[in-house]
Structure 1
């Protein structure tokens, strides 16, 4: 609990240092240490953070395993629940069960995050099923007349409510056809029961109360907004958040949720999405009416001072925005050419826009005008970077419009300017990635794989590197799979 308090006051390294000496002996110290590392990995997407968190969570699981009864709850609960032999489980063994289930669930999440291939999907699925079964049996235990509350029962019950609530809520939000398949193999989800469990867990005085609060805030401010109808229960979210904001007024995680609530309410200034606001304002023409009455230069200048660290790390998108905003700190700033369209690329938005030719044409028109302005304008230290950015975005639009040769020319021109780029080094590996994806669509998989290997091996320490590596990994797997399928088809054809 002390470590958790340190964590929530942004003292992340102090929290880890406090926990570390007992991670080899205490289930809760080990699990909490691994959980902090996992939260860090989830927010940074850094492969090393993911690997470190996964290894630590595995160690925590092995420690929990040593404390479990040999005949575990999931193995024998059904035969014990109606008999007094349930008392043979010590309080420590019951806590080991709930901690073990939590380790399994968190390891599954990391497995899905780390790799997108089918083997990882199956491995993660097995962990999810084992975790689900354990939580299901533990929930039955808590409801049973055989259950005797131990000294630390509130922490055990809080863990059960967290797991049961998370599973029920998540499963209930899946599409009906997927849910029917999952029900066939033993899964089921009840949204109301899930919310009730999390609300009870959030209101209790347990170690996991704050995790229940975070899950509920995610549900109210993200899941219902993104996956649902957008009818968000703002009042409930604010009610959940208020006591934690009062207690941890500078807590990065709670400030993040507070910002999210302000976004949903439409209070853009209070939300700190300042970079995006400045990016859009900067793309208005001189004759255009600018909403809000803000000056984009002043907004860009404010961005570096708004950085927050979560779990000891800065978020990659925040670091990207800060790097981009620095050019506005001089007395005569040189404007970014198309910052809103660049951020759209960072979030892979062209894959969505590209499905609508009319929208893609509109964006291409904006990019072409920006390209013409750069050609006419005086050269400066950002000229090559800006020209290459525009070519990358232009290539994407041309690709989705079916103008393949022109798209290829734009992507290739970026590599040709590699040694002249001063700041936006991320453009080079991303141009290789986009060229590889273009080749894959044409069946040129061997050429694509060479480009992807070059993008992965030859470029380091650039903006949004982890995001690019994830895309490279997914593209490489797809290209190799296509090659293998083609080879099999050829062998089959020859044998016939």
Structure 2
């Protein structure tokens, strides 16, 4: 494997008289190794050199962050937070990159070689901002008020750093552009130009164009991710966020991630994953292309994967995203094939295996009702966060089913409910949707008719029978009146009705008002 050869070469540098190595190249190699199913090899590489380079230290903490985020296990989340805090502390420096440059420029004294260079200072501040962003994401998983406040504080600090660094590095690039233009015009002797303008590091050396491009790629990853995520926040929360000093520009975020993905920074492959996540998960989930166009992002996603085919041909993550593309295009067999390939490639990487198994289960069920009932008995004891909406939902379902063994018909209805909640109905073909109506017709218990009607309405909507869909959705709302649980049913019914009205407001809204 190419990555293993690189490790051998890197290990040989230890015997080098200078003991130095290209940490940027090594860190990029480690991240590529990570994404090419070499999770353990990447962890060992970053672990070995974490004390020799801020970039390798950042890579080391990122491995912990990625593991925690995919597993959601309490111990791994806590461990990742601790490692990220250590990375933040080790890389923290005074802010003000350009201010530092100006001070150095004004001073004609010789700089001490141990002084932190501007390159290293920028790199360290990027790592601090990244660490704060990752900590905020992990803290938010607690989903309680103190965590939101703490996570919000981390986000604010990260945003201010990203914003300043992005501005500083782009200004450095602009200065360098003027320097090149001056040189091409030969308006000043070479020595005078070097002394009068340009991007200067702590040892009075010009920062190269390639180096500035890499640094901008490093900043752009966090800056772009931040802009993209904030732009997805609901309007009510967004007003609060803007009051706290944040702002989200989706287009700016995408452009920054695109730039980062083509850079030579260690986060370039991660920026690529961020773009794939946006096109195959966020766009359909938030209906960014309209409530009825779930496959719009697949063209962009496929183009990105094709461009990186040579580097990540057998990557479990890239195979996973190919599976997502086929799923959004309603190509179920191809989707299942890709998920199974990803599962095979992810062997030994438990978190990646879980992701692939989750998607495979979404596409097919074993139908073991007795086994499912036994597992459901364990659910109440596994729940830790009562204020977590997903866990509250699971708890209600488990308690209801533990009162008595569920019928196969009811289990099928609950499976269909999950397909609906996962926004998977729009990815199903007509021949796959019609059997779901049979599942609804099987229900004989009046206590589940409100849920049955919601699902029937959603299915008829996908089949293009909007008037019939509205009838069932209105019935779902009516049947839920007086009930003390399943409050999500009328909420989703209203949302589905609204998405239908948006397609032909002049027709449906008039009819709806007349019926009130």
Common fold, TM-score beyond 0.5? yes
In structure 2, what is the equivalent of residue 164 of structure 1? 223
In structure 1, what is the equivalent of residue 77 of structure 2? 50
Distance 1:307 1:23, change over 3 A: closer
Give the alignment partner of residue 203 of structure 1, picking from 262, 267, 278: 262
In structure 1, what is the equivalent of residue 346 of structure 2? 308
Three-state SS of the structure 2 residue aligned to 1:241 is helix
Shift of 1:316: 3.9
Residue 239, structure 1, aligned to residue 300, structure 2: no
Give the alignment partner of residue 66 of structure 2, picking from 34, 39, 42: 39
Distance 1:184 1:14, change over 3 A: same
Give the alignment partner of residue 150 of structure 1, picking from 207, 213, 217: 207
Shift of 1:105: 0.5
Deviates more, 1:144-153 or 1:42-51: 144-153
Shift of 1:120: 1.9
Q: Distance in 1 between matches of 2:330 and 2:370?
A: 24
Does the CA contact (< 8 Å) of 1:245 and 1:251 recur in 2?
no
Where do 1:132-281 residues align within 5 Å? 132-144=159-171, 145=174, 148=199, 150-151=207-208, 152-228=211-287, 229=290, 230=294, 232-272=296-336
Gaps of 5+ in 2: 1-27, 107-116, 177-198, 200-205, 380-388, 398-404, 413-442, 452-483, 486-516
Does the CA contact (< 8 Å) of 1:101 and 1:134 recur in 2?
yes
Give the alignment partner of residue 369 of structure 2, picking from 325, 337, 345: 337
Distance 1:251 1:321, change over 3 A: closer
Q: Distance in 2 between matches of 1:118 and 1:261?
A: 36
Q: Distance in 1 between matches of 2:350 and 2:53?
A: 23
Three-state SS of the structure 1 residue aligned to 2:207 is coil
Q: Distance in 2 between matches of 1:183 and 1:108?
A: 17
1:175-212 deviation digits (Å, cap 9, x = unpaired):
22322222222111111111111111112232221111
Shift of 1:146: 5.1
Shift of 1:272: 2.2
Distance 1:5 1:248, change over 3 A: same
Q: Distance in 2 between matches of 1:249 and 1:265?
A: 21
Does the CA contact (< 8 Å) of 1:34 and 1:56 recur in 2?
yes
1:53-73 deviation digits (Å, cap 9, x = unpaired):
2222111111111xx23xx13
Q: Distance in 1 between matches of 2:328 and 2:448?
A: 34
Q: Distance in 1 between matches of 2:253 and 2:296?
A: 17
Residue 85, structure 1, aligned to residue 85, structure 2: no
| RMSD of aligned residue pairs (Cα, Å) | 4.5
Does the CA contact (< 8 Å) of 2:343 and 2:353 recur in 1?
no
Shift of 1:365: 6.6
Q: Distance in 2 between matches of 1:348 and 1:47?
A: 16
Does the CA contact (< 8 Å) of 1:260 and 1:271 recur in 2?
yes
Does the CA contact (< 8 Å) of 1:104 and 1:127 recur in 2?
yes
1:119-139 deviation digits (Å, cap 9, x = unpaired):
222111111100000000111
Does the CA contact (< 8 Å) of 1:164 and 1:194 recur in 2?
yes
Three-state SS of the structure 1 residue aligned to 2:61 is helix
Does the CA contact (< 8 Å) of 2:230 and 2:247 recur in 1?
yes
In structure 1, what is the equivalent of residue 415 of structure 2? none
Residue 130, structure 1, aligned to residue 157, structure 2: yes
In structure 2, what is the equivalent of residue 111 of structure 1? 139
Distance 1:226 1:349, change over 3 A: farther
Shift of 1:233: 2.4
Does the CA contact (< 8 Å) of 1:169 and 1:191 recur in 2?
yes
Distance 1:176 1:253, change over 3 A: same
Shift of 1:153: 2.5
Q: Distance in 2 between matches of 1:190 and 1:264?
A: 26
Does the CA contact (< 8 Å) of 2:228 and 2:250 recur in 1?
yes
Gaps of 5+ in 1: 276-301, 329-334, 356-362, 371-393, 403-440, 443-496
Distance 1:236 1:314, change over 3 A: closer
Does the CA contact (< 8 Å) of 2:314 and 2:345 recur in 1?
no
Shift of 1:50: 1.5
Q: Distance in 2 between matches of 1:349 and 1:120?
A: 17
Distance 1:171 1:338, change over 3 A: farther
TM norm structure 2: 0.55
In structure 1, what is the equivalent of residue 401 of structure 2? none
TM norm structure 1: 0.57
Deviates more, 1:17-26 or 1:104-113: 17-26
Q: Distance in 2 between matches of 1:369 and 1:159?
A: 48
